Amino acid sequence: MQPHTENDLECIRIQKHFGSVRAVDDVSFEIPKGSFFSILGPSGCGKTTLMRMIAGFEQPSSGDIRIKGKSVIGTPPNRRNVKMVFQHLALFPMMNVYENIAYGLRCAGASKDVIRSKVHDVLERISLPDVANREISQLSGGQKQRIAIARCMVLDPDVLLLDEPLGALDLKLREAMKIELKLLQHQFDTTFVYITHDQSEALVMSDNVAIMNQGKFVQIGTPQELYHNPSAAFVAGFVGDTNRWAGRVTRVEGNTVEVETEAGLAMRGSIRGTGAPGVGDKVSAFVRPEFITAEKAGGSMQAGNGQNVIEGKVDSILFNGANSRVLVRDRAGELIEADVVLTGGPQDLKPKDDVTLSWSPEQTMSFKA
């Protein structure tokens, strides 16, 4: 394979085995220059192991890792132009902000003047120009976060690896830092590889996201692609909120299937993913709450216009401003989630109302099980 120098990072068929555990199992991807790439997957799926191999703390069992087109297999971590921010940041508590940021430059033998100018420049870029003399304990959680990134970025890495760096922050700060991190990545124009098990972080910040499960990359795509065109049931269930049914195919017509769910509901769906299901095959069907319309029973909605239509009763409503989540118990006793617009008027749905739910077969993503 020709090296692609326009890619900041390439992993080619990377494997990592710990005894019988396949922590990373045949993973390949490339990240173009200056992009924000996230690896999203459940705990234990191999994210940190993959990062540690990219950083050079761990050797792959097989495969190649290339940074700016050059293989780094066998190159020690300090000779790879890659920096890593850890979950617990690992700032030196006995040094002030200036010393923390200057540390790497000092180790690299930079002169006093160069260090001073680079530290002040990077503090400027993270919008904290006045904290150079502060102790680490005098910073807020979000400021520590930015200092941890500055300490890496001052060394001008080709790739910055971030391993769940928001994990230690409270919810509100995490929300703010999501946007902050994306802005910082733009500002530095450096490739960020971000790992998380929080899908909302990955979707908000990333140009591309890899969905990882049991050591493998299941799908790589833009957040929109993963959300609207998941290639596998795992991705449909992991990315975004969704209703999910297990069922069997009762009829196939082109790209459409009729499915009877385990609880006995009949619905039509569109075939997604690999493997065409036949009559009798098991499938998983997914519909996102925003694609389900809920209307008081006796309204205009009826079966026969090609939509999936189900009767039910409102169980509860999770108020969330304009767009609220209504939980509807269908006749089979299962809860279905739909997003509704509440206006505060008398027409709003209320608990115990009889409702008709409808949604299109096209939005019923059906994967062969």
Ligand X SMILES: Nc1ncnc2c1ncn2[C@@H]1O[C@H](COP(=O)(O)OP(=O)(O)OP(=O)(O)O)[C@@H](O)[C@H]1O
Return residues touching Mg ion (CB under 5 A).
48
Interaction between residue 57 and ligand X (CB under 6 A): no
Interaction between residue 45 and ligand X (CB under 6 A): yes
Report the residue number, 41 or 240, with the smaller CB distance to ligand X. Answer: 41
Residue from 261, 265, 243, 230 nearest 338 by CA: 243
Q: Measured between alpha carbons, how far is 193 from 190 in angstroms, rounded to an integer?
A: 10
Interaction between residue 20 and ligand X (CB under 6 A): no
Report the residue number, 51 or 294, with the smaller CB distance to ligand X. Answer: 51
Please identify, among the stretches 47-55, 126-134, 172-180, 229-237, the one whose residues bind ligand X according to the rule CB under 6 A: 47-55
Which of 21, 297, 318, 335 touches ligand X (CB under 6 A)?
21
Report the residue number, 84 or 317, with the smaller CB distance to ligand X. Answer: 84
Which of 7, 38, 49, 206 touches ligand X (CB under 6 A)?
49
324: left (phi over 0), alpha (psi -120 to 50) or beta: beta
Which of 3, 5, 6, 18 touches ligand X (CB under 6 A)?
18
Report the residue number, 144 or 197, with the smaller CB distance to ligand X. Answer: 197
Interaction between residue 213 and ligand X (CB under 6 A): no
What is the four-CA torsion angle of 325, 330, 332, 337, rounded to 10 degrees? -20
Q: Give min distance, CB of 285 to ligand X, in A.
A: 28
Interaction between residue 307 and ligand X (CB under 6 A): no
Q: Measured between alpha carbons, how far is 262 from 99 in angstroms, rounded to an integer?
A: 62
**Tokens at 15, concatenated:** 């494997």
Q: Measured between alpha carbons, how far is 309 from 292 in angstroms, rounded to an integer?
A: 10
Please identify, among the stretches 39-47, 100-108, 185-193, 263-271, the one whose residues bind ligand X according to the rule CB under 6 A: 39-47
175 by DSSP, 3-state: which? helix
Which residue carries 């493997």 as its tokens? Answer: 275
Alpha helices in the chain (DSSP H): 47-55, 97-107, 112-125, 141-153, 171-188, 199-205, 223-228, 233-238
Report the residue number, 50 or 126, with the smaller CB distance to Mg ion. Answer: 50
For residue 151, CA distances in Å to 61, 83, 84, 139, 159 come to 31, 9, 10, 15, 14
Which residue carries 């590889």 as its tokens? Answer: 193
Report the residue number, 164 or 258, with the smaller CB distance to ligand X. Answer: 164
Report the residue number, 34 or 44, with the smaller CB distance to ligand X. Answer: 44
Report the residue number, 48 or 358, with the smaller CB distance to Mg ion. Answer: 48
Q: Name the DSSP class of 128.
A: -
Q: Give min distance, CB of 87 to Mg ion, in A.
A: 8
The set of residues, in sequence order, having a beta carbon less than 8 Å from that of 80 and lying 6+ positions away, is 55, 56, 67, 72
Interaction between residue 40 and ligand X (CB under 6 A): no
45 binds, among ligand X, Mg ion, none (CB under 5 to 8 A by kind): ligand X
Q: Give min distance, CB of 166 to ligand X, in A.
A: 13
Question: What is the longest distance spanned by two Cα atoms in the chain?
Answer: 79
6 by DSSP, 3-state: which? coil
Interaction between residue 38 and ligand X (CB under 6 A): no
- Could you tell me if 274 and 283 are in contact, meaning their C-beta atoms sit under 8 angstroms apart? no
Which of 7, 48, 100, 191 touches ligand X (CB under 6 A)?
48
69: left (phi over 0), alpha (psi -120 to 50) or beta: left
Q: Give min distance, CB of 197 to ligand X, in A.
A: 5
46 binds, among ligand X, Mg ion, none (CB under 5 to 8 A by kind): ligand X
The long-range contacts involving 342-345, CB below 8 angstroms and separated by at least 24 positions, are: 342/317
Q: Give min distance, CB of 47 to Mg ion, in A.
A: 5
Positions in the binding site for ligand X (CB under 6 A): 18, 21, 23, 41, 43-49, 197
